[in-house]
Amino acid sequence: MAAPKGNAYAMKWPTSEARQELCRAFCDHMAAGYSIESFPDADRKTIRRYAQAFPKDFPPEKLDEAARRGRLEWEKIGKDGAKGEIAGFNATAWIFNMKNRAGWKDRTEVEAWGILGGPDDAKKLEQMKPRSAEEIALGVMALLTSGDASDNGDGTGSAD
- Indicate whether 156 belongs to any domain: no
Residue type, 59: P
- Indicate whether 7 belongs to any domain: no
- Indicate whether 1 belongs to any domain: no
- Indicate whether 8 belongs to any domain: no
What is the spatial distance between Cα 45 and Cα 43, in angstroms, rounded to a whole number? 6
pLDDT digits (tens, 9 = 90+) for 109-125: 555 555 555 556 666 66
Contact predicate 133/67, CB 8 Å: yes
Contact predicate 29/140, CB 8 Å: no
Total structural domains within the chain: 1
User: pLDDT tier at 127 (50, 70, 90 boundaries)?
Assistant: low
Please enumerate in sequence order all residues whose Cβ is within 8 A of that of 102, keeping only pairs 6 or more positions apart, or say none.
71, 74, 130, 131, 136
Answer yes or no: is pLDDT of 80 > 60.
yes
What is the spatial distance between Cα 75 and Cα 93, in angstroms, rounded to a whole number? 13
Answer yes or no: is pLDDT of 64 > 90.
yes
Residues recorded for the chain: 160
